[in-house]
Amino acid sequence: MSFLAGISVFCFAASYSVVLLLEAVRMFYWRGLRQGVTIGFAAAGLLAQTLYLANRAITASGTPLSSAFDWNLLGAWGLVVVYLYLSWYHPKTSIGLFLLPLVLGLIALAEFASREPFPQSHAGQIWGTIHGIFLLLGLMAVTVGFMAGMMYLLQSYRLKHKLPAATGPRLPSLEWLERVNSRAILISVLMVGVGFASGIVLNMVSHRIKIDEVPWTDPVIWSTAAMFGWLLAAAVFSAVYRPARSGRKVAYLTVVSFAFLAVTLGVRMLLPSEHGSQRSESGELPMSEVRT
C-alpha cells in the first residue's frame, strides 16, 4: 500500500481548486466547455480523496476515521459526491461556484483540526458511531441548504431586476431551489437531532462509567445544542407558517442555519473543550497531553 501513502491532502484539494477555476472560467469565456472536463477533474479528486481516507483507515492505530480531521474530510468528500450528482443532472448550471468553496473550506478547516482519534470506551462505541455519522450528515444537509439558499437569493434578485440570463452564473430554477431549501431544513433537523441526542446518551454512559466524560457545560455541547435549537425552531416555523416554506423566507432560514453551523465549528476550533480530548481510564488527561 505504499502508493496510498504518497497521496496527500494537496492532491485532491488541487483537483477541486482546478474544478472551481474551470467553473469560473466557463461562466465568462468558455460556456461551451464540455461538462466532462470539470466532472473528470472532480472525479479524479474524489478518487484521490477516497484513497487517502482509505489509507488513513487502514493505518489507524485506534478507531478508523474517528478524528476531527477525518470528519471534516469526510464532510468534504460527501459534498463532492453531491456536486458530481447535481452537475450530471444539471450540466448547464454553475453549482460548483457555490458548492466547491465550501468543500475547500472544510478541507482547510481539517488542516487545523486534531488528527488524534476520539477516545471511546467499549460501552460508548455504538453511540459514538451514531453520534458522528448523523452529525456529519447534518453538516452536509445544512451546507447544501446554504448553497441552495444563496443561489435562490441570487436568482431571485436577477429576475426581480430583469437582468439578462447571460449575466453571472447559470442557476437552476427558483422552483427547484425552493424544494432543495425546504428539504434541507427538514433533513438537517432530523440528522442533527439524532446526532445531538446520541451524543447526550454517549456522554451519560461516559459519566456513569467515569471514562471519557465531557462536562455538560462544555462549549461544544452548548453550541451544538444552540444549533439544534435553531434548526428545530426553523422546521417548526416552516411547518406552522406556510409562507415560510417557499420564496425568500426559506432561503433566509437555510442561510442562517449555516451561520449557526459556522459558529459551532468556530467554537470547537477556538474555545477550550474536553470534547474529543485524549483521556486515560481514570478520566485524567495523560501526561503527554498536559500543557505547562
Identify whether the C-beta of residue 114 lies closer than 8 Å to the C-beta of residue 67: yes
CB atoms within 10 A of CB 17: 17
The string of pLDDT tens digits covering residues 66-123 is 788 998 999 999 999 999 988 887 877 888 899 999 999 999 999 988 887 766 555 4
Range with the poorest average pLDDT among 83-92, 250-259, 268-277: 268-277
**Per residue, what are the HEC states of the chain?**
CHHHHCCCHHHHHHHHHHHHHHHHHHHHCCCCCCHHHHHHHHHHHHHHHHHHHHHHHHHCCCCCCCCHHHHHHHHHHHHHHHHHHHHHHCCCCCCHHHHHHHHHHHHHHHHCCCCCCCCCCHHHHHHHHHHHHHHHHHHHHHHHHHHHHHHHHHHHHHHHCCCCCCCCCCCCCHHHHHHHHHHHHHHHHHHHHHHHHHHHHHHHHHHHHCCCCCCCCCHHHHHHHHHHHHHHHHHHHHHHCHHHHCHHHHHHHHHHHHHHHHHHHHHHHHCCCCCCCCCCCCCCCCHHHCCC
pLDDT at 51: 94
For cell 469560473, name the residue.
24
The string of pLDDT tens digits covering residues 182-233 is 899 999 999 999 999 988 888 887 777 776 677 888 888 898 999 999 999 9
Higher pLDDT, 139 or 113: 139
For 105-139, b/e burial (b = at least 16 CB within 10 A) is bbbebbeebbebbbbbbeebeebbebbbbbbbbbb
pLDDT at 187: 94
pLDDT at 87: 85
pLDDT at 44: 95
Judged against a pLDDT cut of 70, whether residue 281 lies above it is answered with no
pLDDT at 43: 94
The pLDDT of 131-159, averaged and rounded, is 91
Res. 49 pLDDT band, cuts 50 70 90: very high
pLDDT at 120: 58
Most confident of 24-28, 33-37, 172-176: 172-176
Q: Say what the pTM is.
A: 0.76
At residue 277, what are phi and psi to the nearest 5 degrees? -75, 150
The dihedral through the CA atoms of 267, 229, 139, 212 has a sign that is: positive
Res. 292 pLDDT band, cuts 50 70 90: very low
Res. 287 pLDDT band, cuts 50 70 90: very low
Higher pLDDT, 287 or 74: 74
Judged against a pLDDT cut of 60, whether residue 28 lies above it is answered with yes
